[in-house]
Amino acid sequence: MNCPRCGAEIFPGAKYCHKCGSPIDQHPEDVLLVTTPSIPGYRVTRVFGVVTSLVPRTRGFLGKIVAGFQSMVGGEISVFTSELERARMEAMSRLKDKARRMGANAVVGLDLEISDLGLQAGVVIVSATGTAVIVEPESRSP
C-alpha cells in the first residue's frame, strides 16, 4: 500500500510513513464505514468519489430461501436473514477493499440496496454504495 498523504510506499507493518511521518492504518477493519455523511470527531480532508460493490446471489441462494420458508418455525426465516446478512457483509467488505485501494481510510454515506433481476433470472444483487474519503481526527491540527 501507499501513504495516503505523500504516496510513498509503506513498509508492511509500519505504523508511520517513513517519508512524511503520517500515521498509517494497515488493518482492513480500520476503514470506517458509516451511513452518515460525516463522522463525529473526524473531518474529511479528501474525497475520492463514489465506490460501489455488487454481490450477486444466484439460484442456490433463492433455493435456500425457499428451504428457509419451508422449514419456517414460529415465523422466523433464519436462513433468509443469515444469507442476506452474509451477502451484506461481503458487499461492505468489498467496498472497504475498494476504498482502501483508492487510498481512503473511510467510507461515508453508505447505502445498502437489495434488488432482484426477476425471480425467473434467479439473481438477487446486494449492492453497497458510498463515498470514499480520507478523514482525520478533529483534534489533530495541521
Contact set with Zn ion (CB under 5 A): 3, 5-6, 8, 17, 19-20
Among 72, 121, 132, smallest CA distance to 97 is for: 132
CB of 108 to Zn ion, least distance (A): 23
Strands 42-57, 32-33: parallel, antiparallel or unpaired by DSSP?
Answer: unpaired
Among 131, 141, 61, smallest CA distance to 102 is for: 131
Quick check: helix, strand or coil at residue 133?
strand
Q: For residues 13 and 75, which CB has a smaller minimum distance to Zn ion in the complex?
A: 13
Q: For residues 20 and 67, which CB has a smaller minimum distance to Zn ion in the complex?
A: 20
CB of 133 to Zn ion, least distance (A): 18
Quick check: helix, strand or coil at residue 117?
coil
CB of 10 to Zn ion, least distance (A): 8
Q: For residues 20 and 66, which CB has a smaller minimum distance to Zn ion in the complex?
A: 20
Q: For residues 18 and 59, which CB has a smaller minimum distance to Zn ion in the complex?
A: 18
Rg of the chain (C-alpha set) = 19
CB of 71 to Zn ion, least distance (A): 54
Retrieve residue 99's grid coordinates.
Answer: 476504498
